[in-house]
Structure 1
Amino acid sequence: MRTKYLILIIAFAVSLAFGYGAAREYYNNSGDDPVSSPGPAHGSNTEQNTVDPIREQMKTMNLSEKIGQMVMAGIDGYEKDDHVQQMIGNYHVGGFVLLKQNIRDAKQMLSLINALKETNRVNKIPLFLSIDEEGGQISRVPDELIKIPTSKKIGEMNNSSLSYQIGSIIGEELHSFGLNMDFAPVLDINSNPQNPVIGDRAFGSDAGIVSKLGIQTMKGLHGQNIISVVKHFPGHGDTATDSHLGLPTVNNDMERLNSFELLPFSAAIKNKVDAIMIAHILLSKIDPDNPASLSQIVITDLLREKMGFDGVVITDDMTMGAILNSYEIGEAAVKSINAGSDMILVCHDYAKEEAVIKALQQAAETGLISPDRIDQSVYRILKLKQKYALSDQLVQIWDAQKINDQIKGLFEQFPSLKGRQ
């Protein structure tokens, strides 16, 4: 009888794993942020007897399902196709990223997102549905929405309340479409005038301003139940090469990184950031042999152990020239996971997405990636999905006017902002 009750308790706990409300922590330094509910007192019987629903969920997953959770894939075109069906049905991917070429207008975007969710109902775990929505030139939302100014323009105004409201409005935009993750804000410090890829995507060249405004934007996203993936660790600001085309080299030493590039990321970690994107850049004085996205020194030794980050680490797109010019994509994916990454982002080309999944599967089956290494990442991924109560519930109504009215209201509150678009 006792065994029977234990089984019932475990089953109930697993069923709740992805139905919890988005349990969020309030930060001590801002009244705008959500507050966590108090847990049981340390050492209480409740705590000692609690079954970890995530661990129980993982016990029901086979290796293919675990590997799938560690991959975020791109999509070809405007509609769900056979490749998407394969990614969901055969490979159980953890999420999808929508790019500009996937979005024609609001109606089509909503239809695509709902199709992804509906298809994924065959799986036990809801999808991360992500997008790059920074404002300015990196804006993927459809043209029915008024555009948000660049981070550079926000930085020039240097107003914490404005930054929070920008994050909140972007979060509401994404949430209204059924998305749950934003690859933003950019926490790079734009310190190199020759930088071809960061520029006005950064809040500026001052570490303090980037830290302050970036954290407020992150909190605004959180307030709308959107996961913020800050980027591009350990800092893409002092580069002169576009990592989409080649591998940038940063010659700064650890003393310089600690006093400058790492400051915004350290602030984000102190403010409970959930996920961090790793850049494809070479830190020649830290790890001269591996890009940061493939470097155990950068991801595990620096980010996790020294800086104390235990959230989800996502690579930048592995189809970028910085990686493919020197590595076979499957090889790079295995190196990145062993270095400490949790999710491999593959934005383009179904064949490359499949190659990554098969390489990870083979590496796991042969012991090149250990079971413990896989379980560490899968646990972090499932924990984040539970925290934000992700679901595959469809979105039926989308109200552009409501969101545009909020953006207009922001322009009225900050009149100089409109001229800075």
Structure 2
Amino acid sequence: MKRRQIALLVFVAVSTIVVIVYSLNSNASKESIEHNAKEIVAKMTDKEKIGQLVMYTPTNETDPFSKSMIKEYFVGSALLNRRYETAVETAKFINQLQQWASESRLGIPIFISGDMEYGVAQRVPGEATVLPRQMAIGATQNVEYAERAAKLTAIEAKAMGFHWSFSPVADVNSNPLNAVIGVRSFGEDTNLVSEMTAAEIKGYQSEGIASSAKHFPGHGDTGFDTHFTLSTISYSEEVLREVHLPPFKAAIDQGIESIMTSHIIIQAIDPDLPATLSKKVLTGLLRNDLDFQGIIVTDAMVMEAISKNWGAGEAAVMAINAGADIVMANGSASDQLDTLNSLFQALQAGKLERSRIDESVERIITYKLKMNMFEHRLVDIDNATEVVGNKEHKELAERIAMDSVTLVKNDNILPFDPQTEESTLVVSMAYADQIAETVRKVSKGKVISFQVARAKGEKLDVTQDSINTVINLAQSMDRIMIFTYSDREITQGQIDLVNKLSDIGKPVVAVSLGNPNDIVGYPDVAAYMATYALDTWYWLTPVPVSWESAVRVIFGSEPKGKLPVTIDGNYPQGFGLSYP
């Protein structure tokens, strides 16, 4: 036998042994973790078990309340829903929570979680990297960006002590009038949403951070915001399975650690109860049909879709009975205590089966062991400062934003020439001064800004006085940039303003800061582009990388984005113009 053949046989034999040993070690490790989880659960009291089922939210009196929730009520996880100015402040607070957890009877660490749909900046806007919204990533059509954005988020989150990100949004935004999802979704194409959902999960997993696909079984076709009302979905089961479930199936196939429920009624599955409280949805559809073995966590139970129809305590018991593992308790301290007490009393009264409780607690403890949370409780404060919001991360956010800006219409208006002394009027519904500052950096001429938005009920709109002021300003300017904002339908005041500016006869470009459908309200504008920058809660965290990129495109950078959604049938999904 020739030497090369012998060498090949030896290589194959050694490789086979390595694979077998790795497989045995992996199985042994898995069995060891499961065994340890069972041992821990066996030592727990009923009160400790109930604590693991509840995700508490620090109130304004964080220290005494948090200390009590962790050391007296044994809560298993914390939702950091407030906003912190610095990485240091965040890391110190998280370390304190873990220190209290270590001092409890069994010393079980707690999950630290938070919404991070556009990076940890959603929790730490002062320093963390602000990423473009998910629809902006969808507009790049670059799946790698989704993975890299999640990896960046995971690195910054981990440095501050987070374990769990409530993202990606796996909802397919099939309804352009969706009141709560909008630019939080990757788009309307099920395949694209599925691919980007899986990619984000992969990015989180690469850094050991758990993620949560939301909002099961799909929140993309609602006409109401479940923060304020209960919404019912009437499409068929076929539509559910072909359009809305595939991204969640992709998440499960990628090995996602958790899935978050939605507070919507899916008539085709359960016409009576919202998904969060429905055993048909959580156990029947998610556990049995889709074979999901990870943690099921509810969306915030203080949302009025739940709280108005059921009390916090009653809803918590219903959710656990339906198959949820963790109830997201938020709101007031009394609401959160009501959740804990109601679950405990239900267990004592036999309204919750002990086997149902043990199943969830064992699943939670297993994940804490898998993530080495017992060995790595505290984070290095100095490292958090170095990692969070570093230059490399911000450069990636800028690249994604630049590739996302979508030029939808251009009647020989764009690009504007940055080298002339022409003056520019910047009019915006929000962040007008910040946008104008970016214009000053890229153009030579005079720049004037004016913010027109005024609160009108629950929406932003433009007063007639503001319209008159803008029209007067525009008379003396050479070119006009108008940034509109809507979360669903654009308001009439904005429509009137854009149309009146267009009638002046000067170059006008309109830019949507939120929903890309704004052009439906002013179809005759000469130039229009979409940034996908702001969601329903636009005032919480601005996304300057998105509007800065739009300004650069207006002044000559190449537009690369493609629409992730269809606009009124006139501009199909995948449409996007380039400069000649």
Give the TM-score category using the shorter length: 0.7 to 0.9
Alignment map for 1:14-25 (pairs within 5 Å): none
Q: Distance in 1 between matches of 2:222 and 2:48?
A: 38
Q: Structure 2: which 5+ runs fail to align?
A: 1-18, 406-530, 532-545, 547-580
Rounded to whole Å, the distance in 2 between the matches of 1:360 and 1:277 is 20
Residue 38 of structure 1 corresponds to 22
Percentage of identical aligned residues: 35
Distance 1:293 1:121 in 2: 31
1:300 match: secondary structure = helix
Is the CA contact (8 Å cut-off) linking 1:68 and 1:92 kept in structure 2?
yes
**Which residue is equivalent to 1:310?**
293
Q: Which of 382, 390, 393 does residue 404 from structure 1 map onto? A: 390
The alpha carbon displacement at 1:408 in A equals: 3.5
How many angstroms apart in 2 are the aligned matches of 1:51 and 1:371?
Answer: 19
How big is each residue's C-alpha offset from its partner over 1:144-203, in whole Å with a ceiling of 9 and x where there is no partner? 233100101100111121111100000011011011100000000111111111000000
Q: 8 Å contact 1:80–1:115 — kept in the other structure?
A: no
Q: Which residue pairs with 1:174 in the alignment? A: 157
Q: Which residue of 2 aligns with 1:103?
A: 84
Name the residue aligned to 1:254: 237
Residue type of the alignment partner of 2:22: P
2:128–2:388 contact (8 Å) kept in structure 1: no
Q: What are the within-5 Å matches in structure 2 for residues 210-249 of structure 1?
A: 210-249=193-232
Aligned to 1:80: 62
Q: Which residue of 2 aligns with 1:395?
A: 380
Query: 1:117 corresponds to which residue?
Result: 98
Q: Greater Rg, structure 1 or structure 2?
A: 2
Partner of 1:93: 75
Residue number among 48, 61, 85 corresponding to 1:65 in the alignment: 48
Q: Counterpart amino acid of 1:346?
A: A
- Kindly indicate whether structure 1 or structure 2 has the higher relative contact order, using CA contacts under 8 Å at least 6 residues apart: 1
Deviation at 1:411, TM superposition (A): 5.1
Number of residue pairs matched?
A: 384
1:322 paired with 2:305, answer: yes
Which residue type is aligned with residue 272 of structure 1? G
2:369 aligns with one of 370, 379, 386: 386
- Contact preservation (8 Å) 1:75, 1:102: no
Question: What SS is found at the alignment partner of 2:230?
Answer: coil
Distance 1:307 1:150, change over 3 A: same
Say if 1:417 and 1:41 are closer, same or farther in 2 by CA, change over 3 A.
Answer: closer
The CA deviation string for residues 197-238 of structure 1, in whole angstroms up to 9 with x for no partner, is 100000001001111011111111111111001100000000
Partner of 1:151: 134
Per the alignment, do residues 267 and 399 of structure 1 end up closer, same or farther by CA in structure 2, a change over 3 Å counting?
same
- C-alpha deviation, 1:48, in angstroms: 9.3
Where does structure 1 lack aligned partners over 5 or more consecutive residues?
Answer: 1-34
Q: Which moved more, 1:322-331 or 1:408-417?
A: 408-417
| Shift in alpha-carbon separation, 1:145–1:417, aligned structure 2, 3 A | farther
Q: How many angstroms apart in 1 are the aligned matches of 2:97 and 2:39?
A: 26
User: Are 1:294 and 1:332, in contact at CA under 8 Å, matched by a contact in 2?
Assistant: yes
Deviates more, 1:334-343 or 1:122-131: 122-131
Shift of 1:347: 2.2
TM-score, scaled to structure 2: 0.63
State which of 262, 279, 292 in structure 1 corresponds to 2:275.
292
| 2: CA distance, partners of 1:396 / 1:412 | 27
Cα distance change, pair 173–121 in 1 and its aligned pair in 2 (3 A): same
Deviation of 1:338 after TM superposition, in Å, equals 0.5
Structure 2 residue matching 1:282: 3-state secondary structure: strand
Q: CA separation of 1:192/1:43 partners in 2, compared to 1, >3 Å: closer, same or farther?
A: closer
Pair 1:418–1:75, CA change in 2 (3 A): same
After TM superposition, the score normalised by the length of structure 1 is 0.86
- How far did residue 83 of structure 1 move? 1.2
What residue in structure 1 maps to residue 576 of structure 2?
none
State the shift of 1:405 in Å: 1.8
What is the distance in 1 between the residues matched to 2:203 and 2:20?
16
Residues 105 and 313 from structure 1, CA distance in 2 versus in 1: closer, same or farther, beyond 3 angstroms?
same
Q: After superposition, what is the alpha-carbon deviation per residue over 1:379-405, rounded to whole angstroms, capped at 9, x for unaligned?
A: 111111111111422432123566422
